[in-house]
Amino acid sequence: MRAEILLVGDELLEDMHGVQPDYMADLLGKMGSDLAERGYSLGRLTSLGDAPGELALLLAEAGDRGVDLVVTIGGLGPTHDDRVRDEVARVVGMGPPRPHPDAMRWLVENYESRGIDVPGPGGPWERMGHCPPGVDPVRNPEGMAAGMAFRLGEETEVWCLPGVTFEALPMWREEVLPDLDRHGRPAPEMARAVLRVRGVREGIVGPVVEEFALGRPGIRARVNLMDADGNRFGSIRVTLTGEPEEVARGTADLSAMLVRVSGITVEVEEERLEEREEEEREEEEKDEEEANG
């Protein structure tokens, strides 16, 4: 199953620090782990600005390709440049955003629970309780703006989360994941093997991995440079992901292909993805316990 994440906001494009600023890295890491645990492969992570038409185009294109899951992050606030609701309305095509009874009730409850006077009717604050027709609101456990959920065609499920990370993660964990678990396909058992290759350049390793991958459609093979030292890299990481038996056979085959090349040494690390996810959850729980004293 294929998933894609769209990060929305001009602030993400204002510098050259990449698509994962510090405040977003932790959220994306947790979401990626949750997706992998459920058998999703993250195919695209895209940053885009707030210009009209940008998000609608990407959503429509993902629907045309039959992507299983698309998650947008950001653009749900009350200001004029928070346009995700309007972009969703464009791609769904059933009319402009309008107040949704449930989302508006949640919004008022959130104001009251925080001891904040509810603003007068007709103000921009109400945008946080709007949804286009044909779209379901998603309750925000930690903030004001409701999320959204809808489908594009028969295959593509879309969830829209707020850009404030301490709101996005609770919504993801408390609203999105339970729904995916109820209605999603059973996650296949997956394994990962990491081959650390030393002694040659990427240009020599790449063709060997490409030849290997062409005959094994059930394995995803990735090549990354590692251990940077100035303008040199000390090793190359080849990651194989797939069903455990396929990965085990593929690891042995690829290792044999690589060591036949003069000067190459290969170190192999294998792991079941579910074991890795369990370890990460235990580490998170330990960190929370230590933070809470």
Residue 168 belongs to some domain of the structure: yes
Residue 37 belongs to some domain of the structure: yes
Rounded to whole angstroms, the Cα distance separating 261 from 198 reads 11
What pTM does this model have?
0.73
62-114 pLDDT, tens digit per residue, is 999 999 999 999 999 999 999 999 999 999 999 999 999 999 999 999 999 98
pLDDT over 50 (residue 273): no
Q: Are residues 39 and 171 in the same domain?
A: yes
Most confident listed range (85-89, 122-126, 245-249): 85-89
- Domain count within the chain: 2
Neighbours of 162 (CB within 10 A): 27
Range in 34-43, 156-165, 224-233, 271-280 with the lowest mean pLDDT: 271-280
The beta-strand segments (E) located in the chain are 2-8, 41-48, 69-73, 98-99, 130-131, 136-138, 147-152, 156-161, 191-198, 220-229, 232-242, 265-272
Rounded to whole angstroms, the Cα distance separating 13 from 47 reads 7
Neighbours of 95 (CB within 10 A): 10
Intra-chain end-to-end CA distance of the chain, in Å? 40
Residue 289 belongs to some domain of the structure: no
Give the contacts of 35 (CB within 8 A, at least 6 positions apart). 3, 41, 42, 69
Q: 197 near 260, Cβ under 8 Å?
A: no
Q: Are residues 263 and 203 in the same domain?
A: yes
Q: Are residues 169 and 201 in the same domain?
A: no
Q: Are residues 155 and 197 in the same domain?
A: no
Burial class of 181 by CB neighbour count within 10 A (0 to 12, 13 to 18, 19+)? exposed
Residue 286 belongs to some domain of the structure: no
Q: Are residues 66 and 150 in the same domain?
A: yes
Q: Are residues 176 and 205 in the same domain?
A: no
CATH number for 259: 3.30.70.260
169-212 pLDDT, tens digit per residue, is 999 999 999 998 887 666 667 788 899 988 888 888 889 999 99
Q: Are residues 28 and 123 in the same domain?
A: yes
Residue 199 belongs to some domain of the structure: yes
In three-state secondary structure terms, 27 is: helix
Confidence of residue 263 (pLDDT cuts 50, 70, 90): confident
Q: Are residues 65 and 204 in the same domain?
A: no
Domain boundary pick from 163, 183, 203: 183
Range in 117-131, 166-180, 274-288 with the lowest mean pLDDT: 274-288
Of the candidates 3, 30, 50, 35, the residue with the CA atom closest to the CA atom of residue 190: 35
CATH number for 94: 3.40.980.10
Q: Are residues 171 and 196 in the same domain?
A: no
Q: Are residues 196 and 269 in the same domain?
A: yes
pLDDT for 64 equals 93
Residue 288 belongs to some domain of the structure: no
Confidence of residue 274 (pLDDT cuts 50, 70, 90): very low
254: its two tokens: 């690829």
248: its two tokens: 């085990």
Determine the structural domain holding residue 101 and report its residue range: 2-183
